Amino acid sequence: TTTGPNAADEGNDLRTPIVAVLGHVDHGKTSLLDKIRGSTVIDGEAGAITQHIGATAVPLDVISDIAGSLIDPSDFDLPGLLFIDTPGHHSFSTLRSRGGALADIAVLVVDVNDGFQPQTLEALDILKRTQTPFVVAANKIDTTPGWNPQEDTPTLQTIEAQSERAENTLNQRLYEVIGELSDNGFSADMYWRVQDFRGNIGVVPVSALTGEGVPDLLTVLMGLSQRYMKEDMAVDLTGPGAGTVLEVKDERGFGTTLDVVLYDGVIRTDDTVVVGAKNDPIVTEVRALLQPRPLAEIRTEKRFEQVDAVTAAAGVKIAAPDLDDALAGAPVRVVRGRPEEEVVAEVEAELADIEVDTAENGIV
Ligand code: GDP
């Protein structure tokens, strides 16, 4: 194996791991994503967080900037993290890739005051069933009585700045979260005590409001991906694209479009794609690949900009004819370089698999 930014095994590239955020309503999933998206990078050297369709890409240099001394970027060769923007386990459970979960890794958000709630347990069940590695973000630590907020600082640093009383109250709440994980069959501990993340769940105390612990959360996600998922991330990024439909949307000027998360290969304009649909799979040709315009331009320009190609992992809007019957959660495959019938059969098989699974588990 080689190391370095472009390290790849057997001629493959390393793609960005896809991260989903799950948890009970109001426990702070959206706020946490907003906080990560809103993180400004002070150091001019770093790249930027980019908004994709349905996802947010946080490159390694940005993570490294946010994480500061927690990360040594030379320890990593995965390019960063791609967060799916639609939080919640209903979207998670419908989003599949080749029969598994679309997300490579997940963040289970638990409000430290509210503890485990019905949707926390549902999310745990789904994570268990799909065998998705995850960490727990023990959120809203800033609501601890007597808390002295330290904006955007690492967890241990902010805990050091607290009174003994506040620290004790927080610890009590965190140990309740660890206890509830244990009651549900997961061995867990504060993330800084976890040696083997395959057998133990790391709990990361955070505040989506003040940004405390967000450096730790990004560090742990990056570390987990690098250590345990690197092999899965080694794909041929020049191969035919494969993705999952997040949403089927009518878009003025483009008709019915697909918001897709691409998890493998590349998709180009003029590619022929096969899309899972209500009846037979749709075979159509990509007319346009669209990304949101950078925020600064949104008021003066059209909402989307066209790109020639998109490489995994990424979110993208596909405009193409005949997409009306496409299904959210269904596979999308680029045909390039192989018989169309083969790809159609692949999509059909995968869709049947998803439907069976959906029926069995009562998830819609
Ligand atoms: P979601 O339903 O899981 O997406 O939860 P939201 O992100 O919408 O958050 C629910 C409420 O909790 C909102 O009023 C947020 O402002 C608040 N909230 C979220 N995270 C925090 C936090 O870390 N600290 C505090 N004090 N409030 C938070």
Is the CB of 52 inside a 6 Å radius of any atom of ligand 1? no
Testing ligand 1's pocket by substitution, the residue of 21, 24, 29, 31 carrying the most ligand atoms inside 8 A of its CB is: 31
pLDDT at site 356? 59
CA of 237 to the centre of ligand 1 (A): 37
Residue range 214-220: average pLDDT?
97
Binning pLDDT at 50, 70 and 90, where does residue 355 land?
A: low
Which residue's C-alpha comes closest to atom 10 of ligand 1? 26
Between 272 and 227, whose confidence is greater?
272
Residue 244 has a pLDDT of 94
Least confident among 74-88, 171-185, 189-203, 288-302: 288-302
Q: What is the pLDDT of residue 359?
A: 60
pLDDT band at 95 (very low <50, low <70, confident <90, very high): confident
Name the residue among 262, 251, 266, 267 with its Cα closest to residue 323.
251
The predicted pLDDT at position 39 comes to 72
Q: Is residue 211 in contact with ligand 1, taking CB distance under 6 Å?
A: no
* pLDDT the model gives residue 6: 41
Percent over 70 (pLDDT), the chain: 89
For ligand 1, whether the C-beta of 142 sits within 6 Å is yes
Residue 19 pLDDT: 96
pTM as predicted: 0.91
Whether residue 112 has its Cβ less than 6 Å from ligand 1:
no
At 274, the pLDDT band (50, 70, 90 cuts) reads very high
How far apart are alpha carbons 264 and 209 in whole angstroms? 34
- Inter-residue long-range contacts of 32-35, CB under 8 Å, 24+ positions, other chains counted: 32/107, 32/109, 32/137, 32/139, 32/206, 32/208, 32/214, 32/217, 33/83, 33/85, 33/87, 34/208, 35/208, 35/209, 35/211, 35/214
Please indicate whether residue 87, judged by its CB atom, sits closer than 6 Å to ligand 1.
Answer: yes
pLDDT digits (tens, 9 = 90+) for 28-86: 999 999 999 887 554 444 568 888 998 999 999 999 989 989 999 899 999 999 999 88
Q: Is 181 in the pocket of ligand 1 (CB under 6 A)?
A: no
For range 308-335, the mean pLDDT: 96
Task: Give the number of other CB atoms < 10 A from CB of residue 182.
Answer: 13
Residue 338: the pLDDT is 94
Question: What is the reported pLDDT for 89?
Answer: 74
Pocket test for ligand 1, best of 24, 26, 36 (most atoms within 8 A of CB): 26
Q: Atom 20, ligand 1: which residue's CA is nearest? A: 28
Residue 295: the pLDDT is 60
For residue 101, the model assigns a pLDDT of 82
Question: Mean pLDDT for the chain?
Answer: 89
- Give me ligand 1 centre to Cα 24, in Å: 11
Q: Which long-range contacts (CB under 8 A, 24 or more apart) does 163-172 make?
A: 169/144, 169/145, 170/112, 170/141, 170/144, 170/205
Residue with tokens 């610890």: 171
Amino acid at 270: D
Which residue's CA is the closest to the ligand 1 atom numbered 25? 140
Q: How far is the CA of 29 from the centre of ligand 1 (A)?
A: 7
Predicted local distance difference test score (pLDDT) of residue 27: 97
Q: Is the peptide bond before 7 cis (omega within 30 degrees of 0)?
A: no
pLDDT of residue 364: 39
State the distance between the two ends of the chain, measured CA to CA, in whole angstroms: 42
User: When comparing pLDDT for 46 and 227, which is higher?
Assistant: 227
Ligand 1 geometric centre to CA of 27 (Å) = 6
Strand 55-59 relative to strand 50-52, pairing: antiparallel
Q: How confident is the model at residue 310 (pLDDT cuts 50, 70, 90)?
A: very high
Is 26 near ligand 1, meaning CB less than 6 Å away?
yes
State if residue 207 touches ligand 1 by the CB under 6 angstroms criterion: yes
**91: Cβ below 6 Å to ligand 1?**
no
Q: What is the pLDDT of residues 240-270, one digit of tens each?
A: 999 999 999 999 999 999 999 999 999 999 9
Which band of pLDDT confidence, cut at 50, 70 and 90, is reported for residue 169?
very high
Residue nearest to atom 6 of ligand 1 (CA): 28
